[in-house]
């Protein structure tokens, strides 16, 4: 196994249960199509030059009608334009945006995925059985603003970093690990997919639900990003919330086997909130 890390069997079992319950996961080749194209070159962190090994976008097709007909996706999409791209620029949260956060949390809490995650966290004494208290806990972990850049006001939150993406001094991309945001930004010509990152043995396919990739966003390059593809917002919220609450360490890297994917879940805390979290694909079953 890569890097000698043992698979966390207990967490893997919980995540596979969530995977089975994720009825809102889209089907590759039917609900969306990706075009992986070439293997991306090495790019040093901080460099904004990358050879483009993919002339076409990553997403050839996404059934947007289906996305907008599923409450959790519709609520999720409404949140994506609520944030300032650059850290150091204070976020101003309007009452409409607060309502959108509220509606999104209500929508995910109605799903079997989030209900199961909640039950698991209650069993581990990491969450209250009271749904209203659990919702408040989710809000604090994901949406409570904090200082990421010491020079400015409250400029970031876990949701913005993980799902929306932000920039550091407008020189480096941070976060942006969500496939829906990637697709929407690609459609706006703000994201340019540069190719996949993998060994020859682990070359990804268009049916894969986890991909390591390289891209630029508004002319800044992310040398290696990683993302689930096609999974629902509630699945990612559930997975990362569980990963966050299972450890108090500032940085944890946990190896799990979900479906056919061996993944390292990287979790970085920012006090009592999520700093960043993402899946890093290690290998997959053929």
- Across the chain, the runs of DSSP E, i.e. the strands, are 32-34, 59-62, 166-168, 172-174, 191-196, 210-217, 220-228, 251-258, 261-270, 273-284
118 in catalytic set: no
Report the length, in residues, of the chain. Answer: 286
Contacts for 165 with CB less than 8 Å, ≥ 6 apart: 85, 173, 174, 175, 176, 177, 181, 185, 217
Categorize the per-residue pLDDT at 152 as very low, low, confident or very high, splitting at 50, 70 and 90: low
Tokens 């086997």 sit on residue: 257
- Percent of the chain clearing pLDDT 70 (strictly above): 87
Categorize the per-residue pLDDT at 4 as very low, low, confident or very high, splitting at 50, 70 and 90: low
176/56: higher pLDDT: 56
Q: Which of 135, 222, 257, 280 is the catalytic position? A: 222
> Would 159 be classed as within a structural domain?
yes
First to last CA, the chain: 15
Handedness of CA 248, 253, 255, 256 (dihedral sign): positive
> Would 4 be classed as within a structural domain?
no
Q: Which of 161, 197, 209, 257 is the catalytic position? A: 161
Instruction: Give me the mean pLDDT over the 35-50 stretch.
Output: 88
136-160 burial, b at 16+ Cβ within 10 Å, e below that, comes to ebbbebbbbbbbbbeebeebbbbbb
Categorize the per-residue pLDDT at 5 as very low, low, confident or very high, splitting at 50, 70 and 90: confident
**Residue 151 confidence (pLDDT) above 70:** no
161 in catalytic set: yes
116 in catalytic set: no
Instruction: Give me the mean pLDDT over the 162-171 stretch.
Output: 70
> Would 206 be classed as within a structural domain?
yes
229-244 burial, b at 16+ Cβ within 10 Å, e below that, comes to bbbbbbbbbbbbbbbb
Categorize the per-residue pLDDT at 183 as very low, low, confident or very high, splitting at 50, 70 and 90: very high
> Would 153 be classed as within a structural domain?
yes
**pLDDT (tens digit per residue) in 6-35:** 999 999 999 999 999 999 999 999 999 999
> Would 1 be classed as within a structural domain?
no
**pLDDT (tens digit per residue) in 215-229:** 988 778 888 888 999
Categorize the per-residue pLDDT at 182 as very low, low, confident or very high, splitting at 50, 70 and 90: very high
> Would 3 be classed as within a structural domain?
no
Categorize the per-residue pLDDT at 272 as very low, low, confident or very high, splitting at 50, 70 and 90: confident
Instruction: Give me the mean pLDDT over the 46-72 stretch.
Output: 93
**Residue 153 confidence (pLDDT) above 70:** no
Q: How many domains does the chain have?
A: 1
What's the confidence (pLDDT) of residue 2?
A: 44
What's the confidence (pLDDT) of residue 273?
A: 86
**Residue 259 confidence (pLDDT) above 80:** yes
What's the confidence (pLDDT) of residue 149?
A: 53
The domain of 89 spans: 9-284
Query: What is the Cα–Cα distance from 156 to 85, expressed in whole angstroms?
Result: 9
Q: Which of 120, 177, 194, 197 is the catalytic position? A: 177
Range with the lowest mean pLDDT among 40-44, 62-66, 144-148, 162-166? 144-148
**pLDDT (tens digit per residue) in 187-205:** 999 899 999 999 888 899 9
**pLDDT (tens digit per residue) in 119-142:** 999 999 999 999 999 999 999 999
Tokens (6 digits) for 123? 């069993």
């Amino acid at each position: 196994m890569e890097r000698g890390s043992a698979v966390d069997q207990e967490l893997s079992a919980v995540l596979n249960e969530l995977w089975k319950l994720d009825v809102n996961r889209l089907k590759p080749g039917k609900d969306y199509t990706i075009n992986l194209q070439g293997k991306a070159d090495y790019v040093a962190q901080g460099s904004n030059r990358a050879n483009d090994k993919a002339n076409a976008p990553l997403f050839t097709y996404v059934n947007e009608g289906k996305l907008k007909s599923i409450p959790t996706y519709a609520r999720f999409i409404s949140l994506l334009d609520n944030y300032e791209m650059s850290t150091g620029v204070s976020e101003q949260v309007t009452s409409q945006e607060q309502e959108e956060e509220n509606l999104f949390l209500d929508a995910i809490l109605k799903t079997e995925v989030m209900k199961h995650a909640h039950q698991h966290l209650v069993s581990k004494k990491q969450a209250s059985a009271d749904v209203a208290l659990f919702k408040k806990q989710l809000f604090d972990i994901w949406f409570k603003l904090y200082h990421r850049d010491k020079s400015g006001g409250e400029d970031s939150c876990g949701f913005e970093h993980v799902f929306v993406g932000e920039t550091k001094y407008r020189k480096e991309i941070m976060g942006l690990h969500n496939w829906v945001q990637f697709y929407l930004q690609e459609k706006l010509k703000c994201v340019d997919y540069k190719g996949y990152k993998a060994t020859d043995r682990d070359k990804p396919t268009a049916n894969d639900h986890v991909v390591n990739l390289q891209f630029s966003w508004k002319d800044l390059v992310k040398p290696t990003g990683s993302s689930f593809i096609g999974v629902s917002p509630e699945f990612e919220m559930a997975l990362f919330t569980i990963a966050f609450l299972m450890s108090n360490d500032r940085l944890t890297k946990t190896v799990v086997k979900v479906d056919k994917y061996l993944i390292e879940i990287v979790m970085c805390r920012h006090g009592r909130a999520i700093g960043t979290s993402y899946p890093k694909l290690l290998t997959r079953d053929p």
